[in-house]
Structure 1
Amino acid sequence: MKKTRCWLLAGMLVILSGIANAEVPTVAAASSLQFALSEVASRFEEDTGQQVRLNFGSSGNFRRQIAQGAPFELFLSADEESVLALHERGVTEDEGVIYALGRLVWLQRSGRDDLPDEDTPLAAVEAAIETYRADQGRPRIAMANPEHAPYGVAAREVLEQAELWDEVQPLKVMGENVSQAAQFALSADALGGLVAYSLALAPSLAERSDYALIPENWHTPLNQRMVLVKGAGETAHRFYDYLQGGEAREILASYGFGLPGEPRQEAP
């Protein structure tokens, strides 16, 4: 009899554990949010006792996965197009909202004396091209892949408006997402890269890098939109609302994101 009760109790625990795990929604988030959103999620758990599971990657890849039925309940994109395209397919609850405005920076390893100033933030790219032309080396320039990463699209636009895109082709090294591009930018064989401002401000990167902001009018605005996927549960809805509240917005601003409805304030 005792043995039967033990088995029944064990079975109930497994079922309850499965239910608890099922109630933790999986969030698809642009990699520009890797550090900021992790901090927001921790604060959310402290404030509500509820958890979310964060997956970071490129917005274009998430867009394709969600369209194919991937079990994400909330999608935070680095652009608007990915969210609006999913809404047109009928897989989201609505068109979502803009939650943040991104910025692009030139990022390089710290300890060097050649950081471009903000008036000429592409000076390092131009120097790399000159070095390559003179057959004196092949300095690498990192960026996210513009085929599926919005920050990669912005980087390409910046280089195109400066008429450097064609010449930088033999020098560029592309990450699958902007977080990977930031790691490439700080590697030993790279001169630097064009990546998200939010990553440059993350403590683990800030302690070993320097950056120069790229003017916002050099590329299409990085309006970052989020949306609930159809079938999203209560916790995902609550986290979606939390992301629009004061604490979450304060954290996003501390990582250099602009906030909809407010003038941008440069992070320290």
Structure 2
Amino acid sequence: MKKVILSLVLLCSSIFAGQINVAVAANVSYAINDLVAEFNKTHPNTQVQINLGSSGKFVAQIKNGAPFNIFMSADMKFPQALFEENFAITKPVIYAQGSLAMLSSKELDFSKGINLVKENSISKIAVANPKTAPYGTAAMEAIKNAGLEEVTKDKFVYAESISQAVTYATTAADIGFVAKSSMYDEKMAKYKENVNWVSVDSKLYTPIDQGIVILKNAVDNKEVKAFYDFILSDKAKEIFVKYGYLVK
């Protein structure tokens, strides 16, 4: 009898176990493992498949039939477009607000703020592609508002995503514009604030509202809805704050 009961339990577990497929903006890569781990405390049988990349590229993939259930964008524009074109079944909701930082593997005089990029010693500036990565758009907006477009126009090295911009900033470039959240990853602990990195003045760019939507292939999917609700929960907000985001 015990074996029969055990078999039934295992069968039920397999029936309710499932996988959800989440497209996640690259800047969230540093926080996503903690988020999934926290979610799995209450949903241990749900496998969360995380796909990291640039928001713009995800939009193209979703429109071409990529099997994502949830899209966590680096801005509100991309998920809003998906909602308006009926690729998403929920209106975009802000799950976190991101901010910019400047990073270098070198010890630089970060007291100069963004004006540091016009120095002759800075010949290569890493930035995420502003056409597909919202953090890249924000970086270029900051450059423009600081009046530094002309002196920096030949210095940019473009990365495919904001996570790749971190790599470029510490290898192929002298400095780079990155998501501030990246600086809270344990792998980045060797880079010290005001020595290797500094926050970019938030007055120079539009706050980066990051939006989440449920996609149309997840209609009535309870596991997808559970993860969506979790990302908007107070517990998730605590994790986002831990990684340098602002939350509303």
Question: SS at the partner of 1:226?
Answer: strand
Measure the CA separation in 2 of the matches of 1:231 and 1:221: 30
CA contact (8 A) 1:101 1:222 kept: yes
Give the counterpart letter for 1:222 in structure 2.
I
Measure the CA separation in 1 of the matches of 2:16 and 2:41: 17
**Residue of structure 2 in register with 1:47 after alignment:** 42
CA contact (8 A) 1:41 1:51 kept: no
Question: SS at the partner of 1:231?
Answer: helix
| Residue of structure 1 aligned with 2:182, choices 173, 181, 199 | 199
Residue 250 in structure 1 maps to residue 246 in structure 2: no
Range 25-34 or range 231-240, more displaced: 231-240
Q: Give the % identical residues.
A: 33
Measure the CA separation in 2 of the matches of 1:202 and 1:165: 31
Output the aligned Cα RMSD: 2.0
| Structure showing greater Rg | 1
Residue 184 in structure 1 maps to residue 176 in structure 2: no
**Residue of structure 2 in register with 1:69 after alignment:** 65
* Residues 1-268 of structure 1 aligned to structure 2 (within 5 Å): 23-49=18-44, 50-109=46-105, 112=107, 114-117=108-111, 120-127=112-119, 130-131=120-121, 139-187=123-171, 189-208=172-191, 210-232=196-218, 233-260=221-248
Question: SS at the partner of 1:122?
Answer: helix
Query: Where in structure 2 are there 5+ consecutive unaligned residues?
Result: 1-10
Deviation at 1:20, TM superposition (A): 7.9
Measure the CA separation in 2 of the matches of 1:103 and 1:29: 17
Question: SS at the partner of 2:138?
Answer: helix
CA contact (8 A) 1:44 1:51 kept: no
Deviation at 1:181, TM superposition (A): 0.3
Measure the CA separation in 2 of the matches of 1:150 and 1:230: 23
CA contact (8 A) 1:143 1:181 kept: yes
**Residue of structure 1 in register with 2:4 after alignment:** none
Deviation at 1:140, TM superposition (A): 1.3
CA contact (8 A) 1:101 1:221 kept: yes
Measure the CA separation in 2 of the matches of 1:166 and 1:30: 30
Give the counterpart letter for 1:41 in structure 2.
V
Question: SS at the partner of 1:41?
Answer: helix
TM-score (norm 1): 0.81
Instruction: Provide Cα deviations, 1:98-157, integer angstroms capped at 9, x if missing partner.
Output: 0001100111116x2x2412xx32132011xx34xxxxxx72110100010000000000
Measure the CA separation in 1 of the matches of 2:150 and 2:57: 26
Distance 1:218 1:202, change over 3 A: same
Instruction: Provide Cα deviations, 1:172-214, integer angstroms capped at 9, x if missing partner.
Output: 1111000000110011x42111110001121112324531111
Question: SS at the partner of 1:159?
Answer: helix
CA contact (8 A) 1:186 1:192 kept: yes
Query: Where in structure 1 are there 5+ consecutive unaligned residues?
Result: 1-12, 132-137, 261-268
TM-score (norm 2): 0.87
Give the counterpart letter for 1:66 in structure 2.
I
CA contact (8 A) 2:67 2:217 kept: no
Question: SS at the partner of 1:170?
Answer: coil
